[in-house]
Chain A
Amino acid sequence: DAKTTQPNSMESNEEEPVHLPCNHSTISGTDYIHWYRQLPSQGPEYVIHGLTSNVNNRMASLAIAEDRKSSTLILHRATLRDAAVYYCIPFSYSGAGSYQLTFGKGTKLSVIP
Chain B
Amino acid sequence: DIQMTQSPSSLSASVGDRVTITCRASQDITNYLAWYQQKPGKVPKLLIYDASTLQSGVPSRFSGSGSGTDFTLTISSLQPEDVATYYCQKYNSAPPLFTFGPGTKVDI
Q: Do A and B actually bind?
A: no
Give A contacts to B, CB under 8 Å: none
